[in-house]
Amino acid sequence: MSSSLRREDVAKVAQLARLSLSDDELDKFTEQLGQVLEHANDMGTLNLENVVATAHPFGLINVVRDDVVRPSLDRSEVLAMAPDARDGRFAVPRIMGEAP
Amino acid sequence: MTLPNGWEIVVGLEVHTELKTATKMFCGCANRFGAEPNTNVCPVCLGLPGSLPVLNVRAVDLAMAIGMALHCTIAPSTFHRKNYFYPDMPKDFQISQYDLPINKGGYLDLPDASRVSIERAHLEEDTGKSTHLGGSGRIHGADRSLVDYNRSGVPLVEIVSGPDIRSSSQARAYASELRGILIATGASDGRMEEGSMRIDANVSVRQADAEFGTRCEIKNLNSLRSLQRAIDYEAMRQVELIEAGGTVRQETRHWDEILGATSTMRIKEEADDYRYFREPDLVDLAPDQAWQDRIRSQLGPMPAQRRRELTARLTSATQAQLDAVEVVIDLGLDRLVNYAADGGADVSLALSRAANELAGGIEGVDRLTPEAFCATVLMEQRGELSSTQAKTVLGELLASGGDPHAIAGTMGFEQLSSDSLGETVDELIERHPDEWTRYREGDEKLAQFFIGQVMKATKGRANGKAVIAELQARR
Amino acid sequence: MKSAFQIVDEVRRGATTAAAELATCLDAVRARNEELNVFLYVDEEGAAAAASRVDGILASGGDGGALAGVPIAIKDNMCQRGIPTTCSSKILEGWRPPYNATVLDRLLAAGAVPVGKTNLDEFAMGSSTENSAFGPTRNPLDPSRVPGGSSGGSAAAVAAGMTPLALGSDTGGSIRQPAALCGLVGVKPTYGLVSRYGLIAFASSLDQIGPFAKTVRDAAMLLEVIAGHDPMDSTSLPEQSPSLVAHVGDGVAGKRVGVVRELIEGADQDVVDAVDRATRVLADAGATLVELSIPELRLGLSAYYLIAPAEASSNLARYDGVRFGLRVNAEDVSAMNEATRTAGFGAEVKRRIMLGTYALSAGYYDAYYGQALKVRTQMIDAFRRAYREVDLLIGATAPSVAFEFGSKTSNPMSMYLSDVFTIPTNLAGEAALSVPFGTGEAGLPVGVQLLGPGRSEGLLLAGARVLEIADGRP
Ligand SMILES: [Mg+2]
Ligand SMILES: [Zn+2]
């Protein structure tokens, strides 16, 4: 595993995460994230080929709920949270493309 | 449509179907189409900070029913997050199944005996809905958008076929058969016009037996007709592009129903990095044998079997009858036809009444009991009702329910035994040719004249509505 | 100030009222909140209503609940209906949740009196409470030092005598480390023991809510109230709340205690000495000591700083300016999302979002996130092997006593290292607590960490009680 994190990697990641960074921030983050990844390289030396990945600490399965309607929130309360609302809906600036 | 110069269409379909549950996939909000915007929402389906999903057991039941109907293997499965920013997706990730779907590896046999493989049928959640203000009301050129989250979190099953489909008509037949199956399992109402079944088509072209070509994905086709037209258009576009020396670019395309054309929506590129990872707020789903057996035991016969069974009841089916069978199976009316036939009714008569009168008034079909349908067909068969009267009675049953004998009585059909009302009307028409001609040419007032004459002749035993029905049948 | 146990006892006997205890608590808040920056919001009105409800129930012969009349501070990453909830982030400033976290409902049902919301590192990302958009919290024991983090505000509330109890959340040590730095008992319960519904997620597979208190018994009382199955949280353990208070005095006679090299080495000498003394106390109380080495624990930090940011990058996507919280307007919706997030998140949050996004992104998933999940498996297996040999483990909670402001802010990695002893428990989903034991540099408290398998809270609290008595707090 390589830890040579490049500036353009950080720029791409920032774009994916919807964050904009100044040139200075880009430099600083490249260095700081590089350090963390460097530290993570100690894992790269392990042979974990036959180890199963654990995404979750406990082995619960089939946790479900009954298909029974519960009260929804009051619309006025919901829309009161919104930065902008019109006609009972949340308003946003124009959407540039359809969902992927 | 066939493509020129030895080109062949290759299609795989992704069908999203909303499940007919009472509540959403991960919260207790009602799953209901057409409610006032943002009235069926809660912290979970709005993605508010701190909220957590809990899986709806009914969504799992229905997903398994679909899988079983499609001969899939029910497998231990997990949920993943598909991360991308979009305003109609409240958490900015979609909970979906990824590498371990609940259903995998099945198939669907079509009426023409071809088989389409099913790669997977997995559970996921639907998004909210945006409308666009300003400009043309379409997404392009709008200056702002409004979002309603009532649909956010509605359970979906996405059924992914193999790239086995070789024509637009086969694609249509697949979608139609699948729709029948979804309705038969009770998983969906199959209403494409309301968006409860939406189709994405992956289309490519190739020279016969060559490697698959680059495919384009056409999004959100919401009628069988659009599906067929869009595939034909897209295949021709690709052929013309290649023959002109171009290459097909992998992209997502939009179908414009009015223009009858597809256009570029989004080029697939590196930016499509969904960063899938296991949804840490949900645990694994592994329905045990008992749970699977329960769902399997509740599964009724699928359309193909029902089509076979109904056709087998017809001594020698005409094309018109085969068409009627299609209609009846499609609308789930074979249950009524079979019940009537079991009760002694003539199959072809019951089939015809179902494919015409019942299909025409399908929104009222829940009011019609199998017993009432059977009784009406029998009355017609025995000559107690004329065909016109029988149709009138069925119309009344679909409109308000009730008992066919009582309805026939109220309408005065039964007092005038056999076809005597019809005979009386025939006699009167013969006796008053001028009035009949004027009535036929559109003078509605003369209906009253004939009603009066019928009343006189039957000593008031006839029913005005029934007389008008007889008159209209002869017009 | 009175313990929670004492308040419940007196309120029930009629020796005091919930309203009077609330007044005392609010006086303490007024006296030092400006100096220490503990509470971001004090809900005087709601607290008064809760207190008078408890007094009313008791006046009419009712029971009042297990925490009748006890003022409690809530870390500001738990939703309380109608009360500003910020996660110490500008992106949530002004947001009032339309619902209660399950823990809030349980506290109210038990007669507790939630007083207000406490400061934290933004979205619980930090170990010093310096990363708050609303300024750092100061350690009440030495205001020139940090209280630890991320639950620094909740720890400071109890340490300053403002409330006898507080709720924190622990993703990689965020309860235990501030408890150690502020001289308190802090428990990170077994994953799934306390409902996360309404806890604003940092890293979903690691987060747990837990108690801060001055005494072991108070911590047990609070944990009993908030623990137990919740149908709103799919990861909630199926069983009801365990009986803890009744077993606080059970001692550790006959228990096997693993003294883990990896949970001590690298700590300052004063911390090492305290752990040594505590270990001898447990032996004197009848426990058998077993020297252990669990090398896998050394990999915890690396795995944690990939797994937690990965989950966080996804959990924090929803702060997009569309439905709630901050919006910075822009031409189109993507630009609005970006402007909002850029303005609303602080540097540490951005750092972790980017780290997590990177770890999950195409081409790096296997090397980073995927590998970290496998290390997590090894960690779980290593703990399991240890718990076949011993009943509980002992080590340090934090490498040092409370440190000075700004001493670790310039280098994120040095800050991350302050969680090195606490992180493995979160990765394994197991239980651990920190209990104060003696003092170190500058007379500041040292925390000793006791760790156990899932559902071992009763045993850990009993062990902590042994140390508490030996440390002169009978
Ligand atoms: Mg999908
Ligand atoms: Zn909901």
The one-letter code for the residue type at B323 is D
Chain B residues 69-98 within an 8 A CB cutoff of chain C: 81, 83, 85, 87, 90-93
Place of tokens 């379409």: B138
- How many domains are contained in chain C? 1
C423 token code pair = 């992180």
How far does C356 lie from chain A, in Å, by closest CA?
A: 9
The one-letter code for the residue type at C407 is S
The one-letter code for the residue type at B453 is Q
B145 — contact with chain C (CB < 8 Å)?
Answer: yes
Give me the CATH number covering residue C229: 3.90.1300.10
Q: Give chain B positions within 8 Å (CB) of C310.
A: 277
Q: Which 8-state DSSP code applies to residue A70?
A: -
How far does A46 lie from chain B, in Å, by closest CA?
A: 22
- How many domains are contained in chain A? 1
**What was the pLDDT predicted at B271?**
57
Please answer whether residues B79 and B282 qualify as being in contact, where contact means their C-beta atoms are separated by less than 8 angstroms.
yes
Q: Give chain C positions within 8 Å (CB) of B275.
A: 313-314, 357, 360-362, 365
Whole-structure pTM value: 0.91
Contact C314 B277 (CB under 8 A): yes
Q: At B264, is the secondary structure helix, strand, or coil?
A: strand
C-beta pairs of B461-465 under 8 Å, 24+ apart in sequence: B461/B412, B461/B415, B461/B416, B462/B412, B462/B416, B462/B421, B462/B424, B463/B410, B463/B411, B463/B412, B463/B413, B465/B392, B465/B411
A11 — contact with chain C (CB < 8 Å)?
Answer: no
B245 — contact with chain C (CB < 8 Å)?
Answer: no
Q: Which 8-state DSSP code applies to residue A22?
A: -
User: Which residue from B167, B232, B197, B146 is spatially nearest to B33, judged by alpha carbons?
Assistant: B197
> In angstroms, rounded to a whole number, what is the distance separating the alpha carbons of residues B468 and A64?
58
Q: At C248, is the secondary structure helix, strand, or coil?
A: coil
Neighbours of B112 (CB within 10 A): 9
A69 — contact with chain C (CB < 8 Å)?
Answer: no
Contact C318 B92 (CB under 8 A): yes
**What was the pLDDT predicted at B135?**
65
Distance (Å) from CA B88 to ligand 1 centroid = 15
- The verdict on residue A72 lying in a domain is no
User: Which residue from B199, B236, B255, B225 is spatially nearest to B8, judged by alpha carbons?
Assistant: B236
Please answer whether residues C165 and C70 qualify as being in contact, where contact means their C-beta atoms are separated by less than 8 angstroms.
yes
Contact B54 C99 (CB under 8 A): no
Best A20, A52, A65 member to test B by mutation, with max B CBs in 10 Å, is A65
- Which among A63, A71, A92 has CB closest to B283? A63
Cα C137 to chain center, whole Å? 15
Please answer whether residues B107 and B70 qualify as being in contact, where contact means their C-beta atoms are separated by less than 8 angstroms.
yes
Active site residue C90: no
| CA distances, C34 to each of C56, C136, C140 (Å) | 33, 11, 12
> In angstroms, rounded to a whole number, what is the distance separating the alpha carbons of residues C150 and B86?
31
B99 — contact with chain C (CB < 8 Å)?
Answer: no
- Which among C305, C350, C370 has CB closest to A53? C370
User: Which residue from B66, A49, B347, A100 is spatially nearest to C374, judged by alpha carbons?
Assistant: A49
Mean per-residue pLDDT, C248-254: 98
Contact C97 B53 (CB under 8 A): no
Domain of C296, in residue numbers: 1-474
- The verdict on residue A85 lying in a domain is no
Contact A83 C322 (CB under 8 A): yes
**What was the pLDDT predicted at C125?**
98
Contact A63 C234 (CB under 8 A): yes
User: Which pLDDT band, with edges at 50, 70 and 90, does C131 fall under?
Assistant: very high
- The verdict on residue A69 lying in a domain is no
Mean per-residue pLDDT, C253-276: 97
Best A15, A56, A67 member to test B by mutation, with max B CBs in 10 Å, is A67
Mean per-residue pLDDT, C223-227: 98
Task: Identify the closest residue of chain B to C335 by CA–CA distance.
Answer: B85
C-beta pairs of C57-60 under 8 Å, 24+ apart in sequence: C57/C111, C58/C11, C58/C12, C58/C14, C58/C18
Beta-carbon contacts of residue C241 (< 8 Å; ≥ 6 apart): C224, C225, C226, C227, C228
Please answer whether residues B3 and B236 qualify as being in contact, where contact means their C-beta atoms are separated by less than 8 angstroms.
yes
User: Which residue from A92, B158, B42 is spatially nearest to C340, judged by alpha carbons?
Assistant: A92
**What was the pLDDT predicted at B458?**
77
Cα B140 to chain center, whole Å? 30
Strands B261-267, B55-56: pairing kind: unpaired
10 Å CB burial of residue B162 (0-12, 13-18, 19+) is middle
Domain of A23, in residue numbers: 7-44
Q: What is the DSSP string of B378-444?
A: HHHHTTSS-HHHHHHHHHHHHHH---HHHHHHHTTTTTS-TTHHHHHHHHHHHH-HHHHHHHHTT-T
Q: Which 8-state DSSP code applies to residue C268?
A: -
Which of C88, C169, C174, C418 is the catalytic position? C174
Active site residue C174: yes
Contact A29 C354 (CB under 8 A): yes
Q: Which 8-state DSSP code applies to residue C367?
A: I
The number of the ligand nearest the C-alpha atom of A65 reads: 2
Q: Which 8-state DSSP code applies to residue C366?
A: I
Asked casually if ipTM beats, i.e. exceeds, 0.95, the reply is yes
> In angstroms, rounded to a whole number, what is the distance separating the alpha carbons of residues C27 and C13?
24
Tell me the percentage of chain C whose pLDDT exceeds 90.
96
The number of the ligand nearest the C-alpha atom of A100 reads: 1
Which of C89, C132, C150, C418 is the catalytic position? C150
Neighbours of B186 (CB within 10 A): 16
User: Which pLDDT band, with edges at 50, 70 and 90, does A1 fall under?
Assistant: very low
Nearest 10 degrees: Cα torsion C111, C117, C119, C124: 80
Tell me the pLDDT of chain C averaged across its residues: 97
Task: Identify the closest residue of chain C to B140 by CA–CA distance.
Answer: C332
**What was the pLDDT predicted at B472?**
86
- Which among A20, A57, A63 has CB closest to C342? A20
Contact B38 A100 (CB under 8 A): no
Q: Which residue has the higher pLDDT, B132 or C357?
A: C357
**What was the pLDDT predicted at B132?**
87
Q: Per-10-residue mean pLDDT for chain B, 475 residues long?
A: 90 98 98 96 98 98 98 98 97 97 97 96 97 72 90 98 97 96 94 92 94 94 95 97 95 92 78 90 97 97 94 90 92 94 95 95 92 95 84 94 90 64 87 91 88 80 76 85
Best A92, A94, A96 member to test C by mutation, with max C CBs in 10 Å, is A92
Element of type H or E holding C270? helix C269-284
- Read off the pLDDT of residues A21-64 as tens digits, 9 standing for 90 and up: 999 999 999 999 999 999 888 888 888 888 999 887 778 999 99
Chain B residues 309-338 within an 8 A CB cutoff of chain C: none
What residue ranges in C164-318 does DSSP mark as E strands?
165-170, 185-188, 208-213, 256-260, 288-292
Cis ω before C234 (30° cut-off from 0) = no
Element of type H or E holding A41? helix A23-44
Give me the CATH number covering residue A23: 1.10.20
- Read off the pLDDT of residues A86-97 as tens digits, 9 standing for 90 and up: 999 999 999 877
Please answer whether residues C309 and C294 qualify as being in contact, where contact means their C-beta atoms are separated by less than 8 angstroms.
no
Using CA of residue B367, residue B373, residue B379, residue B385, what is the dihedral sign? Answer: positive
**What was the pLDDT predicted at B266?**
78
> In angstroms, rounded to a whole number, what is the distance separating the alpha carbons of residues C219 and C217?
5
Strands laid side by side in the A85-86 sheet: A85-86, A89-93, B144-148, B129-133
The one-letter code for the residue type at A5 is L
> In angstroms, rounded to a whole number, what is the distance separating the alpha carbons of residues B332 and C460?
63
